[in-house]
Amino acid sequence: MRQLITVINRFAPRQKLLLTDFKTFQCPCFKYTQHQPLRQLPHASILQSLSDPTTLQQLHACVITSGLSQSLPLCNRLMNSYASFGLISDTQKIFYLIPKKNIFSWTILISGLTKNYLFVDAVDAFGKMVTVGLMPNEVTIASILPAFGKLGLHQLGKSVHCLWVRRDFGHNIVVETSLVDMYCRFGCVGAARKLFDKMPERSLGSWNVIISGYAKNSCGSEAIFLFNLMHINGISADYFTIMSLISASLSSEYLGTGPLIHGFTIKTGYADELQIKTALVNMYICSKFFHDAYSVFIEMSCKDVVAWTMMLAGLSSAKYWNKAIDHFNEMRRIKHMVLDSVAFVGILSICSCSGALQHGRTIHALVRKTGFCNDVFVGSALIKMFASCGELDNAKLFFQEMEEKDAACWNALISAVGINGLGDDAIDLLLQMKVDLLGRSGQLDDAYSFIGKMSLQTHPGVYGSLLGACRVYGNTHIGAEIFQKLSQLETADAGHFCCLSNLYASVGNWEGVEMTQVSLRSKLMKKDTGNSLVEIN
């Protein structure tokens, strides 16, 4: 009991809550008494002052055991508190238990969903609210507009804007700023600008929204013009303004303004922010000021994988191949640095362009170690690297080992075969790609029909691709016919036998499994076992 009283007094010191006011409290919950009804206690102040979800849950339990769980104002406060901690599922549970929800209940739910990036759920809740006959207020509209913008719901967004105008709420800087942001996300910067110009009052957030909107829609000149206008009006830039300004400077006509923007960033005191420094590196790289980009990168006290990868791309753009490889090796040596697919694609592209085969092999081993072998982007880059370095057999081998192949992987291999002067093989691969992609999408009949219409002699790899697809989708009829074709061509290997056996097993045809295994043993074939390399010491 004393613990709970201490906790609540700590969270609501201004109300000077006395021990005598909480004689109704009992740990872990409190009960209603005639001495001091719980309804008279300053719940709103307490809930607003909570700093951790555990205490909120304790207070919620006390509310339930005190018979106040049907109090609409108190439930709304609880919903708002849960939403502020990101516990949106608890917010929804309370909402659905309220028998008679008012506009504030709906608004708190919609706002919580939007702030927790559950935009589809927010739009769904807004639709249900309107369906039950409740009209949105200013706060509701301000809460739902970001969801419309994020999801690109033009018609709904414009309808709510019309509702706002028709109901004549007057000027509300929050709603008007949200409308400007929504139209910017729709790509309607003209409509956003008209709204912005009509605003009688503009906050820093309003300026940031319109500047960012122009920058994101590749209207750098307008973004910088508005930034200058904001500066003339005596409004100081903040972190978001500078990020938008850097983005605007990437427009072709402003690519040379990097040093000026960098100087302004230093002057405003935001130059040490990690995201801003990373953006500055990218700005200098896009402007082809590679030495300046590297200088900013070196000055960064804390570098994440994004900054390292961006600088790697910059060195690659400048064709500083050796420096780029050294940069990647330095990046690898950093403790707790987790490489991503972008970093691998970047370094493999550098190996391709520079012909650094030995380093490419090292990266290949690292790709296997880190589990990126089945990443289609990394896989495509590896195929291109091996082919560019004259290792076409390794490119083909890696391609065959990939579990997932998309059009980019096929294109990489077809291109690799083509540039090595193997035109017929490239055509075979093109046909095989079509069959493989049809098979992977489940269109087995179309794939088999396409094989039958081929004017050229069908490459065994085409049949192998379709046989693998039959195993995935459990089509024993086409699978058996494909295997028969492979046998007639005398190209059926142990892998094809195993694939057919697995196909039969997937549909429970154990007799077919036995027949396939017997046939495999009679031909004295054996599937190669998988091996792993483990470096010791």
Range in 1-5, 131-135, 157-161 with the lowest mean pLDDT? 1-5
pLDDT at site 144: 95
pLDDT at site 84: 84
Range in 44-48, 299-303, 402-406 with the lowest mean pLDDT? 44-48
pLDDT at site 466: 74
- CA-to-CA distance for 102 and 114, rounded, in angstroms? 19
- CA-to-CA distance for 58 and 449, rounded, in angstroms? 66
Q: Give the residue-averaged pLDDT of 370-388.
A: 89
Best CA proximity match to 81, nearest among 11, 28, 148: 11
- Kindly report, residue by residue over 514-537, the tens digit of the pLDDT: 777 777 766 655 554 544 444 444
DSSP H helices, 217-269, are 220-232, 239-248, 258-268
For residues 452-472, one letter each, b for 16 or more C-beta atoms within 10 angstroms of the residue's C-beta and e for the rest, the string is eeeeeebbbbbbbbbbbbbbe
The secondary structure element, H or E, covering residue 353 is helix 341-354
Q: How many CB atoms lie within 10 A of CB 214?
A: 26
- Kindly report, residue by residue over 417-461, the tens digit of the pLDDT: 887 778 778 877 777 777 777 777 778 777 777 777 665 556 666
Structure tokens given for 23? 């004689």
- Kindly report, residue by residue over 306-365, the tens digit of the pLDDT: 999 999 999 999 999 999 999 999 999 998 888 999 999 999 999 999 889 999 999 999
- Kindly report, residue by residue over 242-261, the tens digit of the pLDDT: 999 999 988 767 777 888 89
Reduced to 3 states (helix: H, G, I; strand: E, B; else coil), residue 4 is helix
pLDDT at site 278: 93
Phi–psi pair at 532, nearest 5 degrees: -120, 145
Amino acid letter, 321:
W
Best CA proximity match to 457, nearest among 420, 493, 431, 492: 431
- CA-to-CA distance for 66 and 206, rounded, in angstroms? 45
pLDDT at site 512: 72
Give ∠ CA 435-436-440 in degrees, rounded to 5: 120
- CA-to-CA distance for 412 and 58, rounded, in angstroms? 59
Q: Give the residue-averaged pLDDT of 364-389.
A: 90
Burial (CB count within 10 angstroms: exposed 0-12, middle 13-18, buried 19+), residue 294: buried
pLDDT at site 508: 76
| 3 band by pLDDT with thresholds 50, 70 and 90 | very low
Best CA proximity match to 218, nearest among 244, 257, 191: 244
- Kindly report, residue by residue over 291-307, the tens digit of the pLDDT: 999 999 999 988 999 99
Residues of the chain with pLDDT > 90, as a percent, come to 40
Let me know: does 215 contact 185? Beta carbons within 8 Å.
no
Question: Domain coordinates of the chain in residue numbers?
Answer: 339-421, 452-527
Phi–psi pair at 319, nearest 5 degrees: 65, 30
Cα–Cα distance list, 363 to 168, 337, 368 (Å): 63, 16, 9
pLDDT at site 10: 36
Per-residue pLDDT for 8 more than 90?
A: no
Reduced to 3 states (helix: H, G, I; strand: E, B; else coil), residue 340 is coil
Prediction pTM value: 0.70
Let me know: does 270 contact 261? Beta carbons within 8 Å.
no
DSSP 133-172: TPPP-HHHHHHHHHHHHHHT-HHHHHHHHHHHHHTT----
Residues of the chain with pLDDT > 70, as a percent, come to 82
Reduced to 3 states (helix: H, G, I; strand: E, B; else coil), residue 422 is coil
Range in 101-110, 186-195, 326-335, 493-502 with the lowest mean pLDDT? 493-502
| 381 band by pLDDT with thresholds 50, 70 and 90 | very high
Per-residue pLDDT for 204 more than 50?
A: yes
